[in-house]
Structures are given as structure tokens and as C-alpha cells.
Amino acid sequence: MYNALLEAMAYQGSIRYRIEPLKDYSLSPKEKCILTGPCCDDLDVIEEDALLPNTMKIGDRLIVYDTGAYTFTLMTHFNGYPKPKVVIK
């Protein structure tokens, strides 16, 4: 959340990003997950009810769609973590 998705915290509950794994998990059943950032701050929550494949593994990458205009300007090096890589399609 601190690295670009600050709006997720500012508008908790009202902003829902379309999030899916980069890898194809189309045959895997989905389950509700809490999607958080890497820091230890309890506010670093992106989504509390993300539906993600239950066969995902640590390190699998996610695509976060339609993040909006402020995503670039709100990126930080919070707590020493690098800014996320941005891919525009």
C-alpha cells in the first residue's frame, strides 16, 4: 500500500482493485485472502477479501489493474523497500 496504492488505505473499503496472478491459475479454486504489503505496519492492507487461487506460492507476482492517476506520484521508498515496477498495457 505504501509503495503506490495509498488510495487503498485512504478509502478503505470503497476502492477495489482488480487483482489477479500473473501466472495462469485458471484451474485452481479461489479463496478469500488478505492482501498486504511487505512492511510490518498494520495499515499496509490493500484488500481484505481478495479472491485469489489457493495454489499460489510465496513470490508469485500479482497484476493490479486500473490503479489510477495518483499511483505514480504516491510511490515511495517506504521503510527501505524499492518502488514497484510499473507495466502499462
Catalytic residue numbers read 40
Which residues touch 79 (CB under 8 Å, ≥6 apart)? Answer: 2, 39, 41
Cell of 25: 491459475
Q: Residue 65: beta bridge partners?
A: 18
Q: Note the helical H segments in 1-89.
A: 6-10, 70-73
